[in-house]
Amino acid sequence: MQVNLSAIGAFVNEKLTDFGNETNANEMRSAIKLIKSRQGEKYPLHIGDEVIYTDDMTVSVDPANPTQVVGYVSKASRDLAEKAMEASLLAFEKWKRTPVEERAVCLFKAASLIRDKKHEYSAWMILESGKNWTEADADTAEAIDFLEYYGREMLRLNRTNETNPLTRLTGEVNWLDYIPLGVGIVIPPWNFPLAICAGMTSAAVVAGNSVVLKPASTTPIIAYRFYETMIEAGIPPGVIQYLPGSGAEIGDYLTSHPKTRFISFTGSKEVGLRINRLAAETAEGQIWIKRVIAEMGGKDGTVVDETADLDMAAEAIVSAAFGFQGQKCSAGSRAIIVESVYDEMLAKIAELTAKLSLGQPTENKAIGPVIDESSYERILSYIERGKGKNRLLFGGGKGAGEGYFIEPTAFADVNPDSELMQEEIFGPVLAIAKATDWKEAIRIYNDTEFGLTGSYFSHDEDRIEAALRDMHCGNLYVNRKCTGALVGVHPFGGFNMSGTDSKAGGHDYLLLFTQAKLMSRKED
């Protein structure tokens, strides 16, 4: 596959698939059938150019049908983690000298490969993560976007001295070179198992780093498919090590390793803080301060005042709260509504949610399963405690069948200080609070340790200006839902305990994987 760099145009987001078109729907059904026929295969580790099967394996299951094994994935030991680190160090020495253009071409090729088999990648997610067609298709499109965007971004960064030259000093030539950091540990989440995995990994490698990719234990096969794609696109095998395994065993070991230069993580606040703490401790032989790039979740909310379009606000609240079963760091798990329109909004939210069907992701039902048994039990425990302290507006029960299905659930009249309003539940649970006015609603919104996304619904321009100024989050949206950030359009990253505000999919992101070296010489 050849890529003509001179023909690379401006970045454009990948189009989403219209499954109302029967041809597209049939193609997805065929892809699901194909991927189902490949269930139960065994997957190895990849360290350097070695393919390694281990006796200890993770059993990946379909959360909608937990007795169905999607595949068996080898798990790395600490010894294999050390081997992966050594292979990464070796690969880095060559990869960092690979021209930027060659690195970018690999990303463009990978994007093309995924685009050619888009529905197959989505089908893997439908079966392994429980996404419906629409959510899986958006995940695949976002993966393509990250590859296309970061390839262009690295080319742009490489031209910085032309586009943004340093101040001229007579008698000298001065320029900046954005050089790679070294070996990084990439730890992506299970909820966007292709898109975020692709974004975190591709950003690191296009900048010239080598990485150890440790995928989420519930979605390792999707990460494996991405790894295969990157190798097919021309990334040398040692530049990416595919190394699934226990976070406690190999995750902590690699985070603490003296040769680790950076850790790129997306996941829970608790794990992110642990990584940050371990990375801050200087290991024997370590000669740098490790860099941590972390996105750690949120307790996102939607504020609605009495001037808002209530139908539009209700639709946004339902979509943000229950899309992919609320398993998004950007999920709108809180709604804060002024009292004059509170009861009307509750009725609209309940009416819209009642139209959502609960069932199999393979059949493209609106609401599928949560990711695994542990999440299932934890979310249900929040719901049961919530029933004892709050007014249950709807839901609150388990879905039928063997899968990890939970009904979309909402509680009304929730105290802003309660756990339903303060803790990240990461499931289909919406907490709704009443505010006396729009100012109190913003105060309630800000009363959280997180700060990732938020929405403000109003038609009052003065209030909108105040909300834009005072609502404290990394991504604030006015009169639209707080989920659905697009690469290049909505650079994504949050404040406070939501992480390091990394702004994935934005112009600043690749700077996190590089260091600027100033070079100066006397003119002849």
205: number of CA atoms within 13 Å, CB side? Answer: 35
The DSSP H or E segment spanning 88 is: helix 78-95
CA distance 249 to 82: 12
Beta strands in 329-419 (DSSP E): 334-338, 391-394, 409-412
Residue 329 falls in the annotated catalytic set: yes
| CB of 384 closer than 8 Å to CB of 341 | no
Which pair of tokens denotes residue 245? Answer: 């395994």
Q: Which one is catalytic: 14, 142, 306, 329?
A: 329
- Using only C-alpha atoms, the chain has a radius of gyration, in whole angstroms, of 23
> Angle at CA 221, nearest 5°, toward 219 and 222?
75
How do strand 50-52 and strand 45-47 relate by DSSP bridges? antiparallel
Place of tokens 């995924």: 114
> Angle at CA 242, nearest 5°, toward 63 and 236?
140
Q: Which one is catalytic: 120, 128, 153, 295?
A: 295
Residue 101 falls in the annotated catalytic set: no
| CB of 145 closer than 8 Å to CB of 135 | no
CA distance 47 to 391: 53
Q: Which residues fall within 8 angstroms of residue 69, CB to CB, at 6 or more apart?
A: 39, 40, 59, 60, 61, 62
Which pair of tokens denotes residue 35? Answer: 């991927």
The DSSP H or E segment spanning 295 is: strand 291-295
Which pair of tokens denotes residue 484? Answer: 């659905």
CA distance 457 to 481: 9
Which positions are annotated as active-site residues?
295, 329
